[in-house]
Amino acid sequence: MKSRRTVMAILLLVMGLLALISLSAGKVWVPLAQWFRPDDPLSAIVLDLRLPRTLLAMTVGASLGMSGAALQGYTRNPLADPGVLGVSSMAALGAVLTLYLGISLQAIWVLPAAAMVAAILGVALLLGLAGSTSSVVTFILAGVILNSVAGAGVAVALSLAPNPWAVGEIINWMMGSLADRSLSDLQMALPFILVGCGLVLTTGRALDALSLGETGARSLGINMAATRWCLALGVGLATGAGVAVTGVIGFVGLVTPHLLRPLIGARPAGLLMPSAIGGAVIVLAADILVRLIPSVAEVKLGVAMAALGGPFFLALLLSLRRRVA
Amino acid sequence: MRAEQIGVKLGPRQVLSGASADFRPGEITAILGPNGAGKSTLLACLAGLRSPDQGQVWLGPDPILSLPARQRAQRVGFIPQSPEVAWALEVEILVGLGRTPHIGARGLSREDGEAVSRAMTSAGIEDLAGRDVTTLSGGERARVLIARALAGEPDWLLADEPLTGLDPGHQLDVAALFRTMAHDQGKGVIVTLHDLTLAARMADRILVLWEGGILSDGPPALALSSEVLARAYGIEARLTPSEAGLTIEILGRTP
């Protein structure tokens, strides 16, 4: 327990430092002294552009990290992640459908609501499946299929839409980014992410008990149906609200709990909060990196996470296979 | 605990039809029967984890399925067949999971911690406390999982084939552990078993399941006979009373 607190304290410290760097870093470096000068254009860069970006990186990172830890706990599968399993793509599909149908402009909440509903559906589908099969492989394959189908759905909807920038839009949704987001984006996503994470936290005891398998957990008095709904709603709200603002950012939920397990132990409930902080750290770091890579157009955060997370996923898969064999 | 006319259909197959039995605290009941006789199904019904298609299980004055899950879990501990442990948890944390039906919103209390260490002492696994579960041997693992069930301090302990996969020495250790729980702590212990000699040795009472019903029921010496074994398992066997209880020599398949 002590090491868990220490790790969380260190992670919080790192997150604070990265947040400061995130406010200064980019094409233009803005030193601390120039942050709060009302007439300085550099101050506007920090407060209007980088502040929302930094806060969003932390919120979205936290929601993805915690969602990953919760999904891994529920499925007893270290490869689970909202991005890998297609939950994020489902959210993107929900969002894009409102664009395609032209109803996204009717009210500001239509697009995020659709993203969240689609994400909730995605998680419910996956968890239902995880309940009926004990096979890790079947479950991951189901996630991969959900991911491809939802991704294709996004592409089809955007291509059919009367929109000359369809290709760019597809990339925007499937490869998320934090660039040019405003405080109103944060205001939209934050409440749902908080509620979602709160719901996920209530499943902690059930996730722990699930270490003993589904029968084991039920014999300990865990209500599986309630747990499944809490998780579907929680992960769906948190992931969906994030995707509605940033697009799909994968692998955060996969990598974070895996890195933390050796440090604080594998107890699923104990990983939820640290994974949230860890996810915030990873997304902040990746977003700073993306801004510092010298390129004409900024590399998408989703691309960077996939480039970093893909090899990680492969390594994890290989080590799992070795353990099984 | 009382099973009343339990009937269960699995797909098209009637696995149990009208199985009834009373179970008493302070004794070990072993449920025997050939593969597919419905031993595990009956045990899951008794644990309140499966709702039978006909009949019901009574826990004291209440139908077990009418109890809130948490309350039921406090009173009835269950060890599934070849239980999985998903993560590389420390033994002490795993045993602590047995407290799940008791813990409140604030996590494990001191009382919970005491119950966990009592359970680890009675299972004889104090020295494993800090070990990673995935590094344990089969015998150690079996004892850890029993300690996990004991930590919940249930009145009833139900275990599905707890001795399968253990060497004879560890089988005797685990059997002794169940006996202590029943005879010294007054818990009702119900286990399903495959090994006839072991069952005769460790159980106070034996139920033989056959074709969905109960073929024989009583103390080992009465419940097991060459006729019963011939009927249930299709084997010819010679049963001789011995020091360890009953020696069962299997001669061959019945013609």
Instruction: List, as one string, the DSSP characters of A287-324.
Output: HHHHHHS--SSPPPHHHHHHHHHHHHHHHHHHHHHHHH
**Residue B144 above 70 pLDDT?**
yes
Which has the minimum average pLDDT: A18-22, A312-316, B103-107, B122-126? B103-107
Report the residue from A213, A265, A266 with minimal CB separation from B80. A213
Tell me the pLDDT band of A325, cut-offs 50, 70 and 90.
very low
| Residue that has been written with the tokens 């960077």 in this structure | A304
**Residue A130 above 80 pLDDT?**
no
Q: A325 or A156, which is more confident?
A: A156
**Residue B69 above 90 pLDDT?**
yes
Name the burial class of residue A166, with classes exposed (0-12), middle (13-18) and buried (19+) by CB atoms within 10 angstroms of its CB. Answer: middle
Looking at residue B182, its pLDDT comes to: 94
What is the spatial distance between Cα B193 and Cα B199, in angstroms, rounded to a whole number?
7
Count interface pairs A-B at CB distance under 8 A: 74
Q: What percent of chain B has pLDDT over 70?
A: 99
Name the burial class of residue A260, with classes exposed (0-12), middle (13-18) and buried (19+) by CB atoms within 10 angstroms of its CB. Answer: buried
B100, A267: Cβ pair inside 8 Å?
A: no
DSSP state of B18: E
Which has the minimum average pLDDT: A6-20, A81-95, A309-323, B215-229? A309-323
A221, B72: Cβ pair inside 8 Å?
A: yes
Looking at residue A157, its pLDDT comes to: 84
Instruction: Tell me what the mean pLDDT of segment B69-82 comes to.
Output: 92
User: pLDDT digits over A208-222, tens only?
Assistant: 999 998 889 999 999
List residues bridging with B217 in a β-sheet: B207
CATH of domain A2-324: 1.10.3470.10
Report the residue from B83, B101, B148 with minimal CB separation from A221. B101
Q: Is A250 left (phi over 0), alpha (psi -120 to 50) or beta?
A: beta
Put simply, the chain B residues between 133 and 172 with a CB less than 8 A from any chain A CB are 148, 152
Contacts of A63 (CB under 8 A, 6+ apart): A193, A196, A197, A238, A239, A241, A242, A276, A279
Report the residue from A221, A265, A268 with minimal CB separation from B90. A265
Report the residue from B49, B90, B98 with minimal CB separation from A218. B49
In the sheet that holds B54-59, the strands lie side by side as B13-22, B2-10, B54-59, B62-63
Numbered residues of chain A with Cβ closer than 8 Å to any chain B Cβ: 76, 205, 208-213, 215-216, 218-223, 261, 265-268
Tell me the pLDDT band of A135, cut-offs 50, 70 and 90.
low
Q: Which domain holds residue B16?
A: 2-253
Domain count, chain B: 1
A205, B69: Cβ pair inside 8 Å?
A: no
B87, A208: Cβ pair inside 8 Å?
A: no
A216, B77: Cβ pair inside 8 Å?
A: no
DSSP state of B104: B
Contacts of B28 (CB under 8 A, 6+ apart): B178, B179, B182, B189, B190, B191, B202, B203, B204, B205
Choose the mutation target among A75, A139, A212 for the interface with B, i.e. most B CBs under 10 Å. A212
Instruction: Tell me what the mean pLDDT of segment B38-67 comes to.
Output: 92
Report the residue from A208, A209, A216 with minimal CB separation from B80. A216
* B88 vs A contacts (CB less than 8 Å): 266
B77, A211: Cβ pair inside 8 Å?
A: no
Chain B: nearest CA to A213, how far in angstroms?
A: 6
Listed in order, strand segments (DSSP E) in chain B are: 2-10, 13-22, 28-32, 54-59, 62-63, 76-79, 156-160, 188-192, 205-210, 213-218, 235-242, 245-253
User: pLDDT digits over B192-237, tens only?
Assistant: 999 898 999 999 999 999 988 999 999 998 999 999 999 999 999 9
Coil, helix or strand for B156? strand
Looking at residue A320, its pLDDT comes to: 74
What is the secondary structure of B180-218 as a DSSP string?
IIIIIT--EEEEE-S-HHHHHHH-SEEEEEETTEEEEEE
Q: A274 or B139, which is more confident?
A: A274
Which has the minimum average pLDDT: A70-79, A156-165, A242-251? A156-165
Instruction: Tell me what the mean pLDDT of segment A178-206 comes to.
Output: 93
Whole-complex ipTM:
0.90
CATH number of the domain to which B207 belongs: 3.40.50.300
